[in-house]
């Protein structure tokens, strides 16, 4: 073993050395920074994924992507055996390995193996996928070399969306019970269920089976194109920003959500239903122009409420006894939470940012719907719930209406990629619900009106000086910042604001909502100025959003 680890350290030092002392941390969704600073991290994450695979005796995934970030950033997300994000205790181990000095690599590896009871040589299998960034192939190679250096086996899926990789990992680790671990398996499973739910009437009421899609110039555009072969003509998707332009530049789900405006290069007519994916196709937001030509956003909150309402309806109609819960973060618009509590009558939970937190909380319900406002989310069904739905769908002795609703629920589970938020599967889920309700985009939007809101970014010397509590709704450090925020918020009708350090970008994020857009902007700006003042702001002083 010592020899093997020594050779692994040698390769790491020669080919993928850690070139600076800069500390890097496993953040909201893995490691994320400038691609050129990541080569040693990727080599080491290959090693770590192989170790984790040995420990769990299961496939582990390594996804090379920086998702919504602009180039030249890149990153890596590790996928655990059930398709979920890497377990929190291993994030600490990952950070330790990524920051080990070159000469300490071997001893750090030994320590990880020993502390986690891992015997090297046990079969290790790692699935590797990457997004379309120019830096991704090289970084993928670094990960592959890392995996092989400790005798792990690799399946390289090439360019795939993040949720596809999660799907493949889950399929293989469930002995294919969840599906076939390849692209054909993914497309077939989702499209068959989608088509069966849609039937032969592609339009219904105000619902029309065509939409415009902003592919963020990323992998989602490529995969949606390929998916169209399977979907046939039951849905017409016109793709813009399909890969010729720069990834996420002036387009993509984050751009649309944060700036509250349409992506570039997409003609938008009044009433046309449009959607945006992000760079690795795990986030989705919808938008349209209303009859006055105003831009209207339907974000993760709107998707969550639409989907939860539909699932609740089907559960009621099928007569199965299952509870539905909805999980959000502090970014959820106040109006959405009010709507969930007062109109939908669904239990709602709030957790810190990061799908890893939402996913785990959602698993506590029979049916857990989770979405971040940024459009990242999915629905998870407990094993017992899946069994109950399956039995009800197969029970022809049930009254026809109940049996039909159970059958719809059963199919709906296959449209949903339960392993992680998946923009393409979520898009088909939304389209299914709108089709079933016979709704156009305006009817969907009418459920509730968002409180005007604004997000800002503040650059500070060290974003980690910001510490939060209560699912990031309160700031505990630096001292005095929260009481300043409270006094600012108190001046605004329906005001709410919070700050938190981003886990994917080197900034502090500020969120604010209030009774008008001008007030939301003003509130965000005043809070951003306080952050700049009390948390050691650097660069330009935050200016009032335009
Ligand atoms: C990742 C996470 C999301 C999170 C987002 C922003 O998304 O998976 O859960 O909301 O980062 O995180 P932060 O505010 O900490 O920067 P993605 O799509 O970029 O992978």
The tens digit of pLDDT for each residue in 347-377 reads 999 999 999 999 999 999 999 999 999 999 9
Under CATH, domain 2-159 is a member of which superfamily?
Alpha-D-Glucose-1,6-Bisphosphate, subunit A, domain 3 (3.40.120.10)
Alpha-carbon distance of 421 to 367, in angstroms, equals 15
pLDDT of residue 121: 79
How many whole angstroms from its chain centre is CA 374? 8
CA of 504 to the centre of ligand 1 (A): 6
CATH of domain 300-445: 3.40.120.10
**Ligand 1 close to Cβ of residue 376 (< 6 A):** yes
C-alpha pair distances (Å), 98 with each of 30, 108, 421: 11, 10, 26
Catalytic residue list contains 497: no
Map out the domains of the chain as residue ranges: 2-159, 186-297, 300-445, 453-534
Closest by CA to 371, choosing from 354, 386, 387, 385, is: 354
pLDDT digits (tens, 9 = 90+) for 152-192: 999 999 999 999 999 999 999 999 999 999 999 999 999 99
Find the 374 Cα to ligand 1 centroid distance in Å: 8
Interior/surface letters 235-250, b for 16+ CB within 10 angstroms, e for the rest: bebebbbbbebebbeb
Q: Is 67 annotated as a binding residue?
A: yes
Q: Do domains 2-159 and 186-297 have the same CATH topology?
A: yes
Q: Rounded to 5 degrees, what are φ and ψ at 292?
A: -90, 0
- Between the CA atoms of 427, 429, 435 and 440, what dihedral angle is there, to the nearest 10 degrees? -40
Could you read off the pLDDT of 40-49 as tens digits, one per residue? Answer: 999 999 999 9
* pLDDT for residue 219: 98
What is the residue with the minimal CA distance to atom 14 of ligand 1? 502
The pLDDT, as a whole number, for residue 483 is 98
Residue 13 tokens read as 């030092």
**Domain 186-297 adopts which CATH fold?**
Alpha-D-Glucose-1,6-Bisphosphate; Chain A, domain 3 (3.40.120)
Question: CA–CA separation, 93 vs 77, rounded Å?
Answer: 14
Q: Is the CB of 505 under 6 A from ligand 1?
A: yes
Report the distance separating Cα 498 and Cα 339, nearest Å: 21
Domain 453-534 indexed as CATH 3.30.310.50: yes
Distance from the alpha carbon of residue 132 to the mean position of ligand 1, in angstroms: 18
pLDDT of 122 > 90? The answer is no
Closest C-alpha among 362, 378, 515 to residue 451: 515
407 lines ligand 1 (CB under 6 A): no
- Residue whose entry in the numeric block shows the structure tokens 């990457």: 130
Using alpha carbons only, how large is the chain's radius of gyration in Å?
23
Cβ-based neighbours of 354, under 8 Å, separated by 6 or more: 28, 29, 85, 503
pLDDT above 90: residue 195: yes
Digit-coded pLDDT (tens) for 247-261: 999 999 999 999 999
Closest residue CA from atom 3 of ligand 1: 354
Tell me, what's the pLDDT at 88? 94
Cβ of residue 312 lying under 6 Å from some atom of ligand 1: no
Tell me what the mean pLDDT of segment 106-134 comes to: 96
């Amino acid at each position: 073993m010592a020899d093997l680890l020594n050779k692994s350290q040698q390769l790491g030092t020669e080919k993928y050395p850690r070139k600076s002392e800069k500390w890097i941390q496993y953040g909201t969704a893995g490691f994320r920074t400038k691609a050129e600073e990541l080569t040693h991290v990727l080599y080491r994450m290959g090693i770590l994924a192989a170790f984790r695979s040995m420990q769990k005796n299961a496939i582990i995934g390594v996804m090379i992507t920086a998702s919504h970030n602009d180039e030249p950033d890149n990153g890596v997300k590790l996928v655990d055996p059930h398709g979920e994000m890497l377990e929190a205790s291993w994030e600490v181990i990952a950070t330790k390995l990524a920051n080990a000095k070159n000469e300490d690599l071997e001893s750090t590896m030994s320590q990880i193996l020993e502390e986690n009871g891992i015997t090297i040589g046990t079969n290790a299998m790692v699935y590797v996928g990457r997004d379309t960034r120019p830096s991704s192939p090289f970084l993928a190679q670094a990960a592959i070399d890392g995996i092989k250096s400790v005798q792990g086996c690799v399946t390289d899926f090439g360019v795939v969306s993040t949720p596809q990789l999660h799907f493949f990992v889950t399929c293989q680790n469930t002995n294919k019970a969840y599906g076939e671990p390849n692209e054909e398996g993914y497309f077939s499973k989702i499209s068959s269920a989608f088509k069966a739910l849609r039937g032969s009437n592609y339009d219904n009421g105000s619902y029309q089976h065509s939409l415009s899609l902003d592919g963020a110039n990323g992998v989602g555009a490529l995969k949606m194109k390929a998916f169209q072969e399977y979907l046939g003509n039951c849905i017409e998707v016109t793709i813009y920003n399909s890969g010729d332009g720069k990834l996420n530049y002036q387009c993509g789900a984050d751009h649309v959500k944060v700036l509250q405006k349409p992506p570039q290069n997409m003609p938008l007519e009044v009433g046309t239903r449009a959607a945006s994916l992000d760079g690795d196709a795990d986030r989705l937001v919808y938008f349209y122009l209303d009859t006055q030509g105003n831009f209207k956003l339907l974000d993760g909150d709107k998707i969550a409420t639409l989907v939860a309402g539909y699932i609740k309806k089907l559960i009621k109609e099928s007569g199965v006894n299952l509870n539905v819960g909805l999980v959000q973060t502090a970014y959820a618009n106040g109006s959405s939470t009010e709507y969930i509590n007062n109109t939908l009558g669904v239990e709602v939970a709030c957790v810190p940012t990061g799908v890893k937190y939402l996913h785990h909380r959602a698993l506590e319900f029979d049916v857990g719907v989770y979405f971040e406002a940024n459009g990242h989310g999915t629905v998870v069904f407990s094993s017992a719930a899946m069994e109950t739905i399956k039995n009800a769908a197969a029970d022809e002795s049930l009254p026809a209406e109940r049996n039909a609703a159970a059958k719809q629920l059963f199919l709906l589970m296959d449209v949903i990629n339960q392993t992680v938020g998946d923009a393409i599967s979520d898009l088909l889920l939304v389209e299914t619900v709108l089709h079933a309700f016979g709704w156009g985009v305006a009817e969907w939007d009418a459920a509730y009106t968002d409180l005007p809101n604004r997000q800002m970014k503040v650059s500070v010397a060290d974003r980690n000086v910001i510490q939060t509590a209560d699912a990031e709704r309160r700031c505990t450090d630096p001292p005095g910042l929260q009481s300043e925020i409270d006094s600012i918020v108190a001046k605004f009708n329906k005001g709410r604001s919070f700050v938190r350090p981003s886990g994917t970008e080197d900034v502090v994020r500020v969120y604010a909502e209030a009774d008008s857009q001008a007030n939301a902007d003003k509130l965000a700006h005043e809070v951003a100025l306080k952050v700049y003042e009390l948390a050691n702001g650097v660069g330009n002083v935050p200016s009032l959003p335009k």
